[in-house]
Amino acid sequence: MAIQIATDGMIIHAKVRNARSPAIERGRRTSTITGIVVHQTDADTSASSLNSYTRPKANGAHFLVDTDGTIYQTAAIYQRTNHVGPLKARCLITGKYSPRDYPAGVNAVDLMHRIEMRRAPGDRYPGNMEAIGIEMVGRARLPAGFQVPRNNKLSMDELRGRYGVYDTPTAAQNQTLSWLVKALEDSMQIAPSEIFRHPEASRKNTTEAQGANWNLVVPTP
């Protein structure tokens, strides 16, 4: 189900609305696109995210999927955006290496990321340079009856980020996500094994995109 992609990296299709925000683009990629990372916005509406993408030095992904299934392309796919964060070690999942192969201590996260970025893309999770990012509108909410930890020094937004549970994507979002992922896989020759939820690839709230399903049957084209 390959689709038309303009030379500037914008998709030409009736399903995709052009909402390009140059503020989130960080320059043309210097590596081949090898994967997709699926996120949630931690916002209630698409408008709030689209507005935030216009601010100087804003971060964002290449696509935004609204709760009704509308797709907005917010960055050209040939442009890098900052949406992944420090990489986890994929080889710890495959069993190729063990935790003792990585440094510990206060800088462990950054050091692991640096080690991973020296590996070939297929041997690690895709980073900002190789990954297309797809955001789904959805907010993390503190569970009912949540008790603030004793001696808490976090703001409410920080508490939500750490302890909140993300909204379950709507049926329309998952149907659209499945169409978009399939279109990108076929158009960019991305392997199905290289599609990840954000918390798989980086250190994020583990409930982010937990209900995302990109394997639904979709009509063509």
Predicted confidence (pLDDT) per residue in 149-202, tens digit: 888 888 888 888 889 999 999 999 999 999 999 999 999 999 999 999 999 999
Predicted confidence (pLDDT) per residue in 119-146, tens digit: 888 889 999 999 999 999 999 999 988 8
Flag whether 65 is in a domain. Answer: yes
Flag whether 208 is in a domain. Answer: no
Flag whether 144 is in a domain. Answer: yes
Whole-model pTM: value is 0.92
Flag whether 117 is in a domain. Answer: no
Flag whether 12 is in a domain. Answer: yes
Q: Are 1 and 183 in contact (CB under 8 A)?
A: yes
Predicted confidence band of residue 42 (pLDDT cuts 50, 70, 90): very high
Flag whether 159 is in a domain. Answer: yes
pLDDT at 106 over 70: no
CATH number at residue 9: 3.40.80.10
Q: What is the CB neighbour count within 10 angstroms for residue 221?
A: 12
CA distance 165 to 82: 23
- Can you give the pLDDT at residue 166? 96
- Can you give the pLDDT at residue 140? 94
- Can you give the pLDDT at residue 219? 75
pLDDT at 66 over 70: yes
- Can you give the pLDDT at residue 161? 86
- Can you give the pLDDT at residue 102? 76
Count of structural domains, the chain:
1
pLDDT at 41 over 90: yes
Flag whether 140 is in a domain. Answer: yes
Flag whether 151 is in a domain. Answer: yes
Higher-confidence residue: 21 or 89?
21
Query: Domain limits at 52?
Result: 4-88+125-201
